[in-house]
Structure 1
Amino acid sequence: MEMASSNSLLSEDQLLCPICLDVFTRPVSTPCGHNFCMSCITSYWDDIPVSQCPVCKEAFERRPDLKVNTFISGLTSQFKSLQVTDAHIRSLDQHQAGCGGAVLCDICTDTQREAVRSCLECLTSYCDIHLEPHGRAGGLKRHTLVEPLSSLEDRICMEHTRLLTLFCRDDKVLLCDVCAGLSHVNHHVVSVPHEHKEMKALLGETEAQVQQMIQERLQKVRDMKVSVEQSKTETKGVIADSVGDLTALVSEIQKSQTELVTVIEEKQKAAEEQADGFIRGMEREITELQKTTMKLRELKQTEDPLCFLQSSPNPAFLPHTMDLSTIHFNGQGEVRHIQKSLSKTVSQLRLLLSKMSTEIQRVSDGTVGSSDALLRCMQQYEVDVVLDPDTAHPLLTISDDRKQVSYGTGSGFCLNQNQNMFTVHLAVLGQRGFWSRRFYFEVFVGEKVEWCLGVATASVERREALAPGPRCGLWVICFLKNRISSFSSSNVPVHFGKVERVGVFVDYDGGQISFYDVQTETLIYSFTDCVFTEELFPYFNPCDNEYGPNFGPMIIVPVGRVE
C-alpha cells in the first residue's frame, strides 16, 4: 500500500508541534522556517509582549500573518489517517472478535465472503478476489486501503471523501482535514483521539460526580426515613399530650360551669332566705303595728280628759321595729356581678381560643415559625405616608414634617372649615390614597392610653359621627387602656396588652387589612374578605384625654427605625 511506503519515509517526530508536542493541527510556518499548530503559536504570542519564534527566538517587528501550510497539512492528514484508522481498526477488530462478527465483502452476490480490505475512496469492503483490481489498475492503486471496516459512510467526510480525523469544539462536529482548512479556520480544532481522550476523562469525572450525587441522595433518603419515624413517634406524643390538655381543659370548664351554677343557685337561695327573714320580721312588725293602731284609735275615742291622760301611752309604748334603711335585697346585684365577671373571662378565653385556632391554621398553611419572615415580606411594600392637614380636626396639631399628629394643642376653631375636614372624630387622613395594590406603613404610638389606626375610603363621613358597620368606609383598630378592639365591634377585644409600634398592611386586591405588633412580630388583627371600590387613605385618630393624659403624638416612622 503506497501510504505505508510514504509513512515509512516520514517519522512521527517530524510532524509534532514543538509547543503542544502533538501531531500538527492546522500547521503554519513562521518566517524563520519553523512549524507550529495555528492555535499553539497564536496563544504563545498572545502571552508575550514581542512576537518571536519559540524555537530559535528570532523576533519579528510585527506579528506575522500566518496561513495554513497545505503541504505539511496534507502530510499530517495522511499520517493521522493511518494512525487513526489503525487505532479504529484495532479497536473494531477487537470488538468484532469479541462479538464473533466479521465484515463481509460488498461485491459478492451469491455467498458473501469475508472482507480483507476496505477502500476509503470507494467506501466499499472487498474480499481477496474482488480486491485484485486495486492492485492492478493504475487509478485504483492510489486508493487508500485499510483493514476491513463496517459503516464506512460514518467515518468518511461525504463532501470531500476523506477520513474524519478532526473534531471542532466550537461547532461540535467531526471534520476531515479539508473541512478544517476551509470552513473552520478560526475554530478550536483538535484531533479525534485527543478529543476522545479528553471526553472520556470528562465522562469519568462526570460519572464520579453522578456516583457521589447518588450516594448523597441515598444517605439523604436514609436520614429522611429515620426522621419520618422519629416524627411519627413525636407526633403521637404531641397528639396524646394535646388531646390530654384539651380534655383536661374541657373538664375544668365543665367543672367550673357546675360550680358556677351551684354558686349562683346558692347565692339565690341565700338571698331568698334572707328576704324571707326580712319579710317574716316585717310581717310581725305589721301585726304589732296594727294592734297598736287599734289601741290608739280606742284612746282617741275617750272624751274624758282625765281618763284620756291617765290611759295615754308614753312614746315607748310604740313596738320595737327594724330600721328600713338598712334592709335591702341584693341578690340580683351579686348575680349581675358574677355575670359581668364571667362575660369578661369568657371573652378572654375566646380570644385565646381564637389565637390557638390561628396557630393551628398557620401549621396547616405551613406558615408556622415564619411570623418574622412574613412581616419582613410585608415591610417590602412600605410607602411614604405624610398627613394631610386639610383633613385634620381643629383640635389636632400636625408637625411641620407632617409625620406626627397629637391632641390638645390645636385651637379647636377654624375659620376656613372645608368639606375634607373631620369635625366630629378627632381624625386626620394621609395625603396619598392607594388603588389596587399592596402597601404598608408603621406608626409609633408609645405610651398613649387611647388611639385609633387604620384606613378609610375617600368618601368616609367627616362631619357626622360614624356608625360602625361594613359600609361606613372605615377599617381601624382602637386601643383603650390595655386592650384592642375593632371599630366595627368595639365591645369585643381582639388583643390584650399595650403595643408601642403598629404595622399596617393593606392588600387592596386581596381584600385584607392586617395590623402587626412590630416589636413582637405578631399579628394583632386582620379584616378579611373586604370589598374595596375606591381609594384607601391611611387614617389616624390620637383620641382625647377622657381616660387620662393622652397628649403623646402618633408618629409615622420608617421601617427599621426605633423611636
Structure 2
Amino acid sequence: MESVAVDDELICAVCRDTFVQPVTLPCGHNYCEECVNLLKRSADGGCQKARETRSLFSCPLCLAPCETGIDLKKNSVLCNIIEKLHGGRAKGVACTVCKGQEPLPAERSCIHCAESYCTVHIIPHLENEFLRKHMLVEPRPDAGRLCKQHGREVELYCETDCALLCVYCMLPSENPHLNGHNVVKLADAMNSVKEAFQVKLGGIRDSLAEITDGLQKLEEAASVSKDRLTNQQQEYSGFLRRVRMFVEVEEKAWQKRLAVAMVAESRRMEERMEKLQQLRMNADRSALWAEREAQSREQASDSQSSCCCALGSAGFSRGAHYWEVEVRGIPSWALGISCGSGHTHVENSASCWVLIYSQRRQQFCTQHHGQTSCFAASRVPVKIGLFLDVDSGILSFYDAELLQGLYTFYCQLNPPAYPLFCLCLDRDGTLTSTLPQEMRILTPVTNL
C-alpha cells in the first residue's frame, strides 16, 4: 500500500497517468509537459495573435492563473525519483495500460481482460464491484490463455463442448464435462485438430487447383473467342468499307445525273418563262392601249376632271417601313412611292410605283414606267396598308382590314423613296358632299 501511495503522487492530474517529462507551474503543482502544452493551446485557441497578447490558463488543481508565454522548466528531482522508482523494481512483465515510454512493472494480470496492470492501474479491479469478479494472477504475458474459472494452465480439451479445460475443471464437484463428454489432452486435441485442418486445407488446395485450372481454361477460351471476334470485326469492317465506297460512288453518280437534269429543267423553265413574259407583255400592251383609249374617251367627254398628287416630305433611305391610309368613300385614288422629290406625275415615270383604284370600274391598276396591269376588285377598300423594305426593294399593298395582300412590286430603288398620294376630283374641282375632304393617314409612317 505504501508503494501505491507513492505511485499516486506520480500521477498527472490531467492525463491521470504517470508523469512523462514533468514540469512545475508557478503555483507549485506538477504536470506532464505535453499536458501543459495542451492547456496553453486551449487557452489561446491556437491563434498566434492570442499568444502574443500573453493569454492566461488556470491550474487544474488550484485554479491559479498562469501566462501561456511563460517558459516552464523540467522538474529534474521528480524525473529522478520516477527513474529510480522504476529502476528499483524487478524487471518482469510490464503494465500494458501505462502510456509512458517506460511503463511500470505489472503487479497482477487479469485473466478475463487479458491485460497486465501496475499498482496504479490495478486499483479499478480492487474497487469496482463488477471488476472484482475477475480473476487476478501473478504477472504473466499469456494471462489470456489461462483457465478463466480457476486461473490454471489449460491442459485439456472437451471435444463435445469445444472448450479448453484445466486440471481443476475435471474435479467431480466442478466438472460439467464428465458425463458423456469426450475430454482429451490438449496436445492430442491440437494434433487431431491439425490433422483435421490439414485435411480441410488439402481439400481447399484441391479446390483452388480446380479453380485455377478452370480459370486457365476460361482464359484460353476467352483468348480464342477474342481472336475470333477480332477476325469477325475485321471482316465486317472490310465489308462495311466496301459498302461505303459503293454508296459514295453511287451518290456521286446520282448527283451528276440530278445536276444534269436540274440544268435541263432550268432551261425548260426559262424558255417557258420567256414565253409567258412575252405573252404578258403583249397582254399588258393590249390592256394599256385599251386603258388609254378609254381614258382618252373619258377625257373627251369630261375634260374638266383632274387629279392632284401629294408627295411626302420625309424620304426613306434604308430599313423597313409600314403605314396605313384610310380611303373610305373616295371614288378614285392612287398610292405608292416615288424616288425623287420632284416626281409627282406617275404615268410614265421610271421612279414611281403606284396602285390605282377606280370605283366606277371596280378594279385596281398597277403602274410603273408606262406599264399598267389591271385586276378586278372583290370589295370596296376602306383602309390600305403599305409595306416598304428599302434594302430589298419590296413594296407591298394590303387590304388593312382583311389583312389580305393586293399587289407586290419588286423595285430597283434609288433612295430616298417618298410616299406618294393622289386624289381624283369631280368636274367642279371638289369632292362630293358625302365624301371626306381629304385622305387621312391613320397610322404614321414608322420604321419596322
User: Shorter-chain-normalised TM-score: which range?
Assistant: under 0.3
Q: Which has the higher contact order (CA 8 A, sep 6+)?
A: 2
**TM, length-normalised to structure 2:** 0.28
Task: Report the structure number with the largest CA radius of gyration.
Answer: 2
Which structure shows the higher strand fraction?
Answer: 2
Point out the structure with the larger helix share: 1
